[in-house]
Amino acid sequence: MYGCLSLFSGFVLYNSVLYISFNVFYTFLPVIWFASWDYEYEKELLAYRPRFYKIGLENSKFNGWTFTRWVFYAFWQATLIVFLAYETLEGFSPNYYGKHGGIYMAGNFVFATLVIVANMKVLISSF
Residue 2 confidence (pLDDT):
63
Residue 52 confidence (pLDDT):
80
Segment 33-69, tens digit of pLDDT: 877 877 777 878 877 887 887 777 777 778 888 889 9
Alpha-carbon gap, residue 79 to 3, rounded angstroms: 12
6 domain residue, yes or no: no
Residue 68 confidence (pLDDT):
93
pTM of the model: 0.55
Is pLDDT of 72 > 90?
Answer: yes
105 domain residue, yes or no: yes
Quote the number of domains for the chain.
1
User: What range does the domain containing 41 cover?
Assistant: 13-126
DSSP result, 39-63: -SS-HHHHHH-GGGGHHHHHTSSS-
8 domain residue, yes or no: no
Which among 83, 103, 116, 87 has a CA at the least distance from the CA of 15? Answer: 103
Residue 25 confidence (pLDDT):
77
